[in-house]
Structure 1
Amino acid sequence: MDIDGKIPAPSRQQTRRATASGWIGSVLEYYDFFIYAQAASMVFPQLFFPHGNPKLAIVASLATYGVGYVARPIGGFVLGRRGDTHGRKHLLLLCMFLMGISTFAVGLLPTYKQIGIAAPIALVVLRLIQGFAVAGEISGASSMILEQAPFGRRGYYASYALQGTQAGQIFAAAIFMPLAYWLPADAFASWGWRIPFLLSAFVLAAGYVIRRNVQESRAFIDEGLQGAIPESPIRVAFRESWRDIVRIAVMASAAVIAMVATIFGAAYAVQPAYGIGFHPDTYLVIPLVGNIVAVIVIPFVGRLSDRIGRRIPVVVGSLGAGLLSYVYLYAISAGNAPVAIVTSVLMWGIVYQGFNAVFPSFMPELFPTRTRVSAMSIGQNVGMALTALLPSLFAAIAPPGTKDIPLLIGTLTLVITAVAAIAAWTARETYRTPLHELGGPGSGRRPAAGIASADAVEAR
């Protein structure tokens, strides 16, 4: 605040600092979140569940992955409210501490052989904490970046929040790959898998240093100065924006592509019961290469959405990726790693980014500042919670021995992405709406005196 009591519009430096904080924080949090995904597909069935029924162990292990998403709606309610009442910066630091501590603890867990049923119970509890923590990350980071981005470039800058999640997955795979390749299978299953989880202590320390120095969103400060922060942003969000909360919950189901590519696809390719026979270190190349391409593609798609709108990339990305899921699963069923890798790059790395790169701007733009984090957190995390149960459902309806798994799972995937695309198409377009008018007619307010409107803020 300057000497006249006015809040200056964000400079280029502030925009870039907020974007860097969102990007790096997402990298760190999603590294933690996705190393669990790798372990749940590759080693947890053998370590944390009874050995007598391998089919049941696969389903149960993938279910513990889904449990993390079950906790996300709860985290969306609790953490979303804190983001709207205590600030975006406060929220992002809190999420990081919860995630880092719970991930480190997974690396110390004894196995089923050592402590029996207590092992999977403890695993589920820690996964619940992970899911609770990650619930506030994307909505908080997206809102922080969106509210400090210049008009006409919100899609480009907000896309970096999702680029960070893809980079986090790259780091997760990059840690597991050399361990799976160089360590003997017994050593990897005994202690090698623990190393990525224990490294989260360094992740936590690095994330704290980065995020403590970022400035609070100027739009949130504006709300505080005007006394406009509601005591119950959740109640306000449901009263004013319930249709859009439901809409983005349905849109979020497009993340079934991520589940097929990195969770069910991994179990289908690696688990001995399915008989495909991919070695773990070979299969890890598939999501790794797809995510590397995604990191490159995302900013371009975000920039494109600033020119043609948010809806078209989301619809095309969802439907196109759903169609490619057939080819991807058939390539795995044929044991053809080169084709599976190429298809993964097309499906996960390029086409799906039409949705993935744009939702960090599209979803928060549907809501006003005073309820933005709460509304997005609730809608997105409810949708993600339902979607994340799909790998376990897929494993249950297409267990080892099922005929034509690619056709069955591919069809289900396409239907889900089509529903998500319809939800996106019914949303209003937001890419040319000024910041203070976001959330629909009558939901926003003009900036207070001395506070620059976002549409007046161009790159300086």
Structure 2
Amino acid sequence: MTHSPEHAVRPASGAEPAAGGRKPQSMKRVATASFIGTVIEFYDFGIYGTAAALVFPTLFFPALGTVAGTVASFATLGVAFVARPFGSVLFGHFGDRLGRKKTLIATMLLMGFSTLLVGLMPTAGTIGVAAPVLIVLLRVLQGLAAGGEWGGAVLFASENAPKAKRGFWSMFPSFGGGIAIILSNATFWATAVGMSNDTFVSWGWRVPFLASIVLIGIGLWVRLSIDETPVFKKQIATGVTRTPFLDAFRSQPKQILLATGTTTMTLALTYIGGTYLVSYGTTTLKLTRPDVLAVAILGGVAISIATVLGAALSDRIGRRRMITIVACVSVVWTLVLFPILDTRSLAAFAVGVPVTMFLSGLATGPLGAFLSETFRTRYRYTATGLSYSLAGMLGGAIPPLIAGPVIAASGGFVFGVILACVAVVSLICVRLIGETKELDLDRDDTGATADV
């Protein structure tokens, strides 16, 4: 039985056929493996962010008070973003030397068991200062795992995909992140609706963390059943680098910096819309927790739909043009976002969060293919993951951390100006880096990449 291009991996130009005469693995199977892993990774990452907004200030930083406790809680969220670049280098090293499959199994297990331990963690009321210290340690482990996951999952899809639909197939890891936002917020919503506030604070918040063990089992089964990518198999035949991190910075330093700048806007929108506004809605706007979480679920739906749309459009109009359009719209939207939210109505909140997440999704969709196409095979895992993780630190960690103090001191509009500046930086970077969609992933390792 033959496979159509949409359902089967076509070996990249010059790549060897599957070993032993086997048929290429189904793109649906490849997409599922990429998707399920990032669902697990970002479900685990997302529930921590939601808990940091809702209960961690009280449970782990009670002595600091409401405002300082919230800042400290989001600081622990930020610790993972600081750890992510190190995870990208660590797991990227093994991903570029040993293969995508083995490394992705390791990142998934590390994230899953770190998250499970968060759900079992005693609070400050039980073990005192050791509680926040241990939470930070587990958050570092989550960050290391997340740093190695997204880039590897993206490469597993992109290095198997036919060029004409590389944007579409490469978006499945990001699509998994959108579904994870829905799942994490839905789990917290169910606990918020199904139990009293005291019960939720006492033990209900642990349920989403403990439930992750089910996803770990499913993800491990799926990833063990897949094969290595044909592009990496070809690289093994020609030889792998011993120092992928050093090779990446020696060969494509400008591309790493510009790719980081391009991605920063996307992650800033994601973590403001998906994490910070959950806290803002409950503490500043005084909306009920079930209402805020219901809107957050809508935000997850919005980013998921937009991710698919943005990826599909990038196969038609190009990665650079798609991200450029979103950046231009985002400059305007971030300036009006907080004035809209500060009307303090649920309707305004129900517009602000999904629109922010939709814009993020439109830019997220092309990113998997865009970053894969930018870098060469011998250090692609390291460079892709590092660019994404550095952008996560700049866009995902810093804006939520500074949002509270900036808004308290100067108002939401000033913080919107900061977000607009982030969008402008991404716009400049994506215009400089050049179009990538026509590039072959297994092109001559000494050949040119995107023009800079």
TM-score for both structures, normalised by structure 1: 0.90
Find the residue that maps to 2:447 and give its secondary structure. Answer: coil
8 Å CA contact retained: 2:273, 2:299: no
Listed as ranges, the matches of 1:360-371 within 5 Å are 360-371=368-379
8 Å CA contact retained: 2:171, 2:308: yes
Q: Residue 343 of structure 2: which of 327, 334, 342 is its match?
A: 334
- The more displaced of 76-85 and 279-288 is 279-288
Q: Equivalent residue for 1:26?
A: 38
- Offset at 1:340? 1.9
| 1:234 to 2:251 alignment | no
8 Å CA contact retained: 1:318, 1:352: no
Q: Equivalent residue for 2:146?
A: 134
8 Å CA contact retained: 2:281, 2:349: no
8 Å CA contact retained: 1:367, 1:439: no
- Offset at 1:438? 7.7
**1:155–1:440 CA distance, 2 compared to 1 (3 A):** farther
Listed as ranges, the matches of 1:282-361 within 5 Å are 282-349=291-358, 351-361=359-369
Q: Residue 248 of structure 1: which of 246, 249, 259 is its match?
A: 259
8 Å CA contact retained: 2:96, 2:244: yes
- Offset at 1:52? 4.9
Q: Equivalent residue for 2:190?
A: 178
1:137 partner letter: E
Q: Equivalent residue for 2:12?
A: none
> Take 2:444 and 2:402, find their aligned partners in 1: how far apart are those partners?
37
**1:353–1:23 CA distance, 2 compared to 1 (3 A):** same
2:401 partner letter: S
Q: Equivalent residue for 2:7?
A: none
1:250 partner letter: G
Q: Equivalent residue for 1:7?
A: 17
Unaligned segments of structure 1, at least 5 residues: 445-460
8 Å CA contact retained: 2:310, 2:364: no
8 Å CA contact retained: 1:66, 1:389: yes
Greater share of helix: 2
Listed as ranges, the matches of 1:35-434 within 5 Å are 35-226=47-238, 228-254=239-265, 255-271=267-283, 274=284, 276-349=285-358, 351-387=359-395, 388-399=397-408, 402=409, 405-434=411-440
> Take 2:123 and 2:418, find their aligned partners in 1: how far apart are those partners?
34
Find the residue that maps to 1:335 and give its secondary structure. Answer: coil
**1:262–1:356 CA distance, 2 compared to 1 (3 A):** same
1:359 partner letter: L
**1:16–1:52 CA distance, 2 compared to 1 (3 A):** closer
**1:322–1:189 CA distance, 2 compared to 1 (3 A):** farther
> Take 1:326 and 1:53, find their aligned partners in 2: how far apart are those partners?
30
8 Å CA contact retained: 1:320, 1:352: no
2:204 partner letter: G
- The more displaced of 318-327 and 337-346 is 318-327
- Same amino acid, percent of matched pairs: 29
- Offset at 1:213? 0.4
8 Å CA contact retained: 1:158, 1:360: yes
1:343 partner letter: G
2:377 partner letter: T
8 Å CA contact retained: 1:155, 1:303: yes
> Take 1:355 and 1:440, find their aligned partners in 2: how far apart are those partners?
29
- Offset at 1:13? 4.5
1:260-293 Cα offsets, whole Å, 9 max, x none, are 212221222212xx3x211111111222112213
> Take 1:325 and 1:154, find their aligned partners in 2: how far apart are those partners?
30
1:296-319 Cα offsets, whole Å, 9 max, x none, are 232232121111111011122133
1:199 partner letter: A
- Offset at 1:366? 0.4
> Take 2:105 and 2:259, find their aligned partners in 1: how far apart are those partners?
25
2:370 partner letter: F
**1:322–1:116 CA distance, 2 compared to 1 (3 A):** farther
- Offset at 1:138? 1.2
1:291 partner letter: G
> Take 1:167 and 1:372, find their aligned partners in 2: how far apart are those partners?
26
Q: Equivalent residue for 1:454?
A: none
